[in-house]
């Protein structure tokens, strides 16, 4: 069996010899073939152009003076057809002008006839080497350009995903960053849920495909396999690696790559790229690098969330302990008083006069009331927080509301000067009078509790365009600006020893806020110019359904 000594077909170089000297053509063809070149010959310019039309030549050896064509013109036309061609010009006469002319027209070299075959061979080799270097340089430039593009893309993605700690926003930012480069492709991101990979972001997908990819089973399909095995897959119709999901194939997608989203050994989900062309928008490596950037950002956000919720849990735990300590202290104080007086009364060896007996029983009665109120407050707070506060609302004149609590207000301000100032002609309010009364009592009770004896406490009512406003102001210790929002949180008490020394649970104002909000209103506090606080709550004006209420208000 003859051994094929010729180079492999792809690496064989094709050479076109153009000369009207048929003897020269024959000899040179033999020499070049022996060197492994594929050689075609053309004795005329026309035949040379025909051959160049049929095949891509690497080099042409061209006689400058052909009977039917001007050598330099023919050279230009050949170069038009294949710009990478290496042209070597031949001439019978030494002519500097011809040489310069042909070199100016793109010739690689200029040889004088008769040509020494070995010289011709060496020039051809040099020309082809130069051509190889040019091609290689082009390839390297292209490669550099490509990797620049990939680096820019990755940089854009990594900058975009670093801007947030919210997984949804991170995914949206990554997709936004990809769009300018890969907008003509469809991309989806599915994150791991219970047995499913749930669609967490996409672009370019139709509603039908979105529905199909909304919850991809972990156990099935290309995406499932990538998630389970942590290896990228490039799927194409009939490919052994995996089939394109029917929903995508049905819409003309011909190429589908899925890369895993993993970070720190955690499997987070998958990222899919679908293309209607038979090739991917980028190499699988680049897609995996994009997915890697995204994975790190998602994992960081998860870790941050976990750390935050652990911190929140710790805070909640601390709050709960504080609350328990506070509540048990509050419950214990009246119980201790009741127990003390009751034990004294039970002593058989002591006799008390009627006055002392009376004092003991009053103390027991008051402390029992305090205890009952505390328990009521806690139960009420629970109802408010569950959204289960029932309101028995009706239309009332503002004055009627205030008068419904005259007695408790008077009792609470025995050691203060209470002034009540209700503006005339106020609109009625549509309220549960008992609850709003409780809120007013609470605010006045606080005013008395946190103000020195003998100071003024003012309860006023007025209105603006669409709200009725109740205000309770005092000349007490006031509330530092940074605590003014917090005092409405349950169990919050201003961390001031003077405040902490007063009895209190920190529930009163949060109950007030719950009641006011249940009426569609809002409550706030501000400082008074000369010290002291001013609490205001606003209620929507009731419709003018009750004329009588409006008049008496
Ligand atoms: P309590 O009075 O039982 O502590 P509240 O919820 O009624 O609970 O009030 C919460 C906190 O707001 C109080 O502990 C106190 O620090 C502050 N506060 C409330 N009302 C006043 C007021 N009129 N003047 C100064 N501080 C007040």
Structure confidence at residue 95 (pLDDT): 64
Q: How far is the CA of 404 from the centre of ligand 1 (A)?
A: 23
Give the pLDDT band of residue 409 (cuts 50, 70, 90). very high
Q: Is the minimum distance from the CB of 553 to ligand 1 under 6 angstroms?
A: no
pLDDT tens per residue across span 282-295: 778 888 999 999 99
Task: Using most ligand atoms within 8 A of CB, pick from 490, 506, 532 the residue to mutate for ligand 1.
Answer: 506
Q: How far is the CA of 185 from the centre of ligand 1 (A)?
A: 61
Question: What is the average pLDDT score of the chain?
Answer: 89
Report which listed range, 66-75, 226-235, 308-317, 397-406, is most confident: 397-406
Rounded to an integer, what is the distance from CA 508 to the centroid of its chain? 40
pLDDT tens per residue across span 159-194: 988 888 899 999 999 999 998 888 778 999 999 998
Mean pLDDT over residues 183-212, rounded? 93
Question: Which ligand 1 atom minimizes the distance to the CA of 442?
Answer: 7
pLDDT for residue 272 is more than 60: yes
Rounded to an integer, what is the distance from CA 312 to the centroid of its chain? 22
Task: Using most ligand atoms within 8 A of CB, pick from 471, 501, 504 the residue to mutate for ligand 1.
Answer: 504
Question: Which ligand 1 atom minimizes the distance to the CA of 447?
Answer: 23
User: For residue 421, which of 458, 447, 455, 454 has the smallest C-alpha distance?
Assistant: 458
Q: How far is the CA of 487 from the centre of ligand 1 (A)?
A: 7
CA-closest residue to ligand 1 atom 16: 494
Q: How far is the CA of 107 from the centre of ligand 1 (A)?
A: 97
User: For residue 451, which of 513, 373, 366, 534 has the smallest C-alpha distance?
Assistant: 534
Max alpha carbon distance in the chain (Å)? 153
Q: Is the minimum distance from the CB of 474 to ligand 1 under 6 angstroms?
A: yes
Q: How far is the CA of 330 from the centre of ligand 1 (A)?
A: 15
Mean pLDDT over residues 3-23, rounded? 73
Residue 541 is classified by DSSP as B
Buried b (16+ CB within 10 A) or exposed e, 276-306: eeeebbbeeebbbbbbbbbbbbbbbbbeeee
Measured distance CA(71)–CA(90) in Å, rounded: 9
Q: Is the minimum distance from the CB of 367 to ligand 1 under 6 angstroms?
A: no
Q: Is the minimum distance from the CB of 446 to ligand 1 under 6 angstroms?
A: yes
Q: Is the minimum distance from the CB of 399 to ligand 1 under 6 angstroms?
A: no
């Amino acid at each position: 069996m003859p051994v094929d000594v010729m180079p492999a077909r792809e690496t064989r170089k094709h050479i076109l010899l153009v000369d009207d000297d048929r003897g020269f053509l024959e000899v040179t063809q033999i020499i070049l073939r022996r060197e492994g070149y594929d050689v075609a010959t053309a004795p005329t310019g026309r035949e040379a152009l025909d051959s160049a039309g049929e095949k891509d030549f690497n080099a042409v050896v061209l006689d400058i003076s052909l009977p039917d064509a001007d050598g330099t013109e023919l050279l230009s036309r050949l170069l038009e057809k294949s710009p990478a061609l290496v042209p070597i010009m031949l001439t019978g006469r030494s002519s500097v002008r011809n040489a310069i002319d042909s070199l100016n027209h793109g010739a690689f070299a200029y040889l004088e006839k008769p040509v020494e075959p070995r010289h011709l061979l060496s020039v051809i080799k040099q020309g082809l080497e130069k051509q190889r270097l040019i091609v290689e340089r082009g390839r390297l430039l292209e490669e550099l350009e490509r990797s620049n593009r990939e680096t820019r893309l990755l940089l854009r993605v990594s900058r975009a995903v670093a801007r947030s700690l919210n997984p949804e926003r991170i995914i949206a930012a990554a997709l936004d960053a990809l769009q300018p480069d890969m907008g003509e492709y469809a991309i989806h991101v599915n994150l791991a849920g219970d047995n499913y990979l749930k669609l967490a972001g996409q672009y370019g997908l139709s509603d039908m495909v979105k529905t199909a990819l909304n919850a991809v089973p972990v156990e099935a399909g290309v995406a499932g396999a990538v998630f389970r095995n942590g290896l990228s897959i490039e799927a194409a119709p009939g490919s052994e690696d995996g089939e394109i999901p029917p929903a995508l194939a049905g819409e003309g997608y011909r190429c589908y790559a899925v890369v895993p989203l993993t970070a720190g050994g955690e499997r987070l989900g998958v990222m899919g790229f679908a293309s209607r062309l038979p090739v991917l928008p980028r190499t699988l490596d680049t897609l995996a690098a994009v997915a890697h950037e995204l994975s790190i950002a998602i994992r960081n956000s998860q870790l941050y969330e976990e750390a935050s919720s652990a911190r929140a849990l710790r805070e909640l735990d601390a709050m709960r302990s504080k609350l328990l300590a506070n509540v048990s202290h509050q419950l214990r104080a009246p119980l201790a008083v009741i127990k003390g007086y009751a034990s004294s009364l039970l002593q058989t060896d002591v006799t008390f006069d009627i006055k002392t007996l009376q004092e003991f029983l009053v103390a027991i009665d008051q402390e029992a009331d305090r205890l009952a109120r505390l328990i009521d407050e806690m139960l009420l707070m629970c109802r408010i927080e569950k959204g289960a506060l029932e309101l028995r609302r009706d239309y009332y004149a503002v004055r009627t509301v205030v008068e419904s609590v005259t007695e408790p207000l008077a009792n609470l301000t025995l050691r203060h000067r209470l002034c009540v100032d209700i503006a005339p002609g106020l609109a009625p309010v549509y309220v549960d009078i008992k609850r709003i009364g409780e809120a007013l009592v609470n605010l006045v009770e606080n005013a008395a509790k946190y103000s020195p004896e003998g100071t003024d406490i003012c309860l006023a009512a007025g209105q603006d365009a669409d709200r009725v406003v109740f205000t309770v102001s005092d000349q007490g210790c006031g509330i530092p600006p940074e605590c003014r929002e917090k005092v409405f949180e349950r169990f919050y008490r201003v961390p001031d020893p003077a405040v902490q020394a007063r009895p209190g649970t920190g529930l009163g104002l949060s109950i007030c806020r719950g009641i006011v909000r249940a009426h569609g209103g809002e409550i706030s506090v501000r400082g008074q110019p000369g010290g002291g606080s001013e609490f205001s709550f606003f209620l929507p004006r009731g419709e003018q359904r009750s004329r009588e209420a409006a008049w008496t208000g």
